[in-house]
Amino acid sequence: MAIVKSTGISGPQRGLAEQVFSRAAGAPLVPGNAVNLLRDARENYPAWLSAIHLARHSILFENYIIEDDEVGRSFAQALEARAHDGVRVRVLYDWLGCQGTASRRFWRRLRDAGVEVRCFNPFQFDRPLAWLGRNHRKTLTVDGEVGFVSGLCVSHKWLGVPEKGVAPWRDTGLEIRGPAVADLVRAFAQGWGTVGPALDEEACLSDRAPAELGDVALRVVAGVPWSAGLFRVDQLIASLARKRLWLTDAYFVGTAAYVQALRAASRDGVDVRLLVPGSSDLPVLRPLTQAGYRPLLEAGIRVYEWNGTMLHAKTAVADGLWARVGSSNLNPASWLGNSEIDVAVEDTHFARQMESMYMQDLEHATEVVLGGRDRRLVPANPRPLPRSQRGASGQRGRVSRAAAGAMRLGNTVGAAVTNHRELGRTESKVVFVAGVVPLLFAGAALWWPQVVAVPVAALCAWAGVALWSRALRLRRQEARNPEDEPRPVVEAEVPSPPAAAAPDLLPEAGPRNAPEAERRQP
């Protein structure tokens, strides 16, 4: 593996390190792929639509947000046209992500055209907390030959408003051709199968699918709730990086373990940088976002705030050898709660492309540095984007922002209560507000007990009825099929692909991957 090679590991230890990464990611290294880096919607959307128009027998499309606007309707029309021509088109959308963005009429029109549409994890009365786990993936796979992975949803916000000088949302995606596309099909099948009958994976692949079309080795890390595969990979990369680790994230939440890994890398001389959005959908979250900067800055980590429209990319690049692009944010919601998908690429040429794009992004960012009041802004370059082109980040994404803010609030309050780390002065407002809330709650409970008792009683009643309802449903299922095994309630792991050949570790100076080593199972 490239990042392992850069650390000086060789011989039998390299094989062991490769196995560690495969098991941590829950995904083997797949050689022989061609990868194309796509920037923003202006490059991603045309590539997606072109692949859809050229589809011959299968289209697998899943996304967190699909909006019924000019962009969503253009994709709907393309999918309907291919379904009309006999192509098997399947669309998986997230129930929460598409609340208020597309009506039942939009989905009914797709179904009437022959598109198979499924909704991921809609709210159910007898599973009150199950709705918290979302399908946050953004993938498109066509004929089992070409696949796309990104952070982009389907909405006009990603295109911006050119006539008003508002730039598109900043995001990053990949186009993949080669054997790894089969892993994208398996990942889609896992999510599709949690909603209804299983997908026939072989029918979605062509005879040409296994053919090697390039020299890039990569891993498709398809995370499911509580698997934490990408979290383990991010920890390993932070530990093994020797020169550079450059991160871009839309909703960064500095969990103690990950922040410690970044701080340790920086103190060992690694150039660690973090690029985050410069503005928040919810102004109340702004102090929480700023509060997370201090422990990073004190360790020498450089933090930048994006000056343009919404920064939605989720990427990483390390040592000019390893890079990641996908849907996962650096926060517990993505690491543990959601179904996510990311591609970890081990190729020097691609990593250099990512580093070049990162430096271009910093030209439109402002660096945050410690000063007399702990934090001040310093232009990262003399030519930031004009304020008129920054635009607003819009309404969507507030659920993710709110979740990230809640987690950061919990991190700060937890530090204040347990004293496991030193709090910065910028966190004083957060701690003060956190102290006001329980005082108000205590006052309400003393003076108006019913204000507290009634909601608690209602929640307890809901939980009891939900459990009874679930039990009755299981009893009826058992009565109808007494000899059948009960269906599992918990979402299954992504099926492991059959054993095949995997490449040797990537040479430090060359862009090619030598496919001699055996492919290992996660």
* CB neighbour list of residue 315: distance below 8 Å, 6 or more residues apart: 172, 247, 248, 323, 324, 325, 354, 358
Give the torsion through C-alpha atoms of 83, 86, 87, 88, to 10 deg: 80
Tokens (6 digits) for 522: 């996660």
* CB neighbour list of residue 110: distance below 8 Å, 6 or more residues apart: 76, 79, 80, 91, 117
125 near 468, Cβ under 8 Å?
no
Residue 208's pLDDT band (boundaries 50, 70, 90)? Answer: low
Mean pLDDT of the chain: 80
171, 319, 342, 361: which is the annotated catalytic residue?
319
Structure confidence at residue 388 (pLDDT): 41
Is 70 exceeded by the pLDDT of residue 520? Answer: no
Is 90 exceeded by the pLDDT of residue 464? Answer: no
Quick: pLDDT tens for 425-445.
Answer: 555 666 666 677 777 767 777
List the single range of 72-76, 309-313, 482-486, 511-515 with lowest mean pLDDT. Answer: 511-515
68, 143, 215, 361: which is the annotated catalytic residue?
143
Percent of the chain scoring above 90 in pLDDT: 46
Structure confidence at residue 352 (pLDDT): 96
Tokens (6 digits) for 144: 């089992």
List the single range of 234-243, 300-309, 406-415 with lowest mean pLDDT. Answer: 406-415
CA–CA dist 165, 422 (Å, integer)? 43
CA–CA dist 114, 352 (Å, integer)? 43
40, 68, 94, 136: which is the annotated catalytic residue?
136
Residue 502's pLDDT band (boundaries 50, 70, 90)? Answer: very low
Residue 244: strand pairing partners: 271
Quick: pLDDT tens for 216-259.
Answer: 999 999 988 877 888 888 888 998 899 999 999 998 887 888 99
331 near 404, Cβ under 8 Å?
yes
Structure confidence at residue 501 (pLDDT): 41
SS3 call for 149: strand
Concerning whether 138 is annotated as a catalytic residue, the answer is: yes
Residue 494's pLDDT band (boundaries 50, 70, 90)? Answer: very low
Q: Are strands 146-150 and 172-177 parallel, antiparallel or unpaired?
A: antiparallel
5, 157, 314, 364: which is the annotated catalytic residue?
314
Concerning whether 57 is annotated as a catalytic residue, the answer is: no
Quick: pLDDT tens for 67-82.
Answer: 999 999 999 999 999 9
Quick: pLDDT tens for 266-276.
Answer: 999 999 999 99
5, 138, 157, 364: which is the annotated catalytic residue?
138
Which one has a higher pLDDT value, 488 or 464?
A: 464
* CB neighbour list of residue 249: distance below 8 Å, 6 or more residues apart: 274, 275, 276, 313, 314, 329, 330
Average of pLDDT values for 477-481?
75
The top-scoring range by mean pLDDT among 290-294, 357-361, 409-413, 454-458 is: 357-361
Concerning whether 319 is annotated as a catalytic residue, the answer is: yes
Of the candidates 432, 393, 435, 427, the residue with the CA atom closest to the CA atom of residue 408 = 427
Structure confidence at residue 15 (pLDDT): 60
CA–CA dist 81, 63 (Å, integer)? 19
Residue 37: strand pairing partners: 174
Concerning whether 268 is annotated as a catalytic residue, the answer is: no
Structure confidence at residue 439 (pLDDT): 75
Structure confidence at residue 293 (pLDDT): 87
40, 312, 347, 504: which is the annotated catalytic residue?
312
17 near 9, Cβ under 8 Å?
yes
Tokens (6 digits) for 216: 């890039």
Task: Report the interhelical angle of 104-112 vs 70-84 (nearest 10°).
Answer: 20
237 near 351, Cβ under 8 Å?
no
Concerning whether 312 is annotated as a catalytic residue, the answer is: yes
Structure confidence at residue 331 (pLDDT): 85
Lookup result for tokens 């009643």: 461
List the single range of 105-114, 208-217, 287-296, 324-333 with lowest mean pLDDT. Answer: 287-296
CA–CA dist 520, 518 (Å, integer)? 6
Is 60 exceeded by the pLDDT of residue 517? Answer: no
Structure confidence at residue 273 (pLDDT): 97
Residue 174: strand pairing partners: 37, 149
Concerning whether 143 is annotated as a catalytic residue, the answer is: yes
What Rg value do the Cα atoms of the chain yield, rounded?
A: 24
Tokens (6 digits) for 318: 């390390």
Is 60 exceeded by the pLDDT of residue 382? Answer: no
Is 90 exceeded by the pLDDT of residue 468? Answer: no
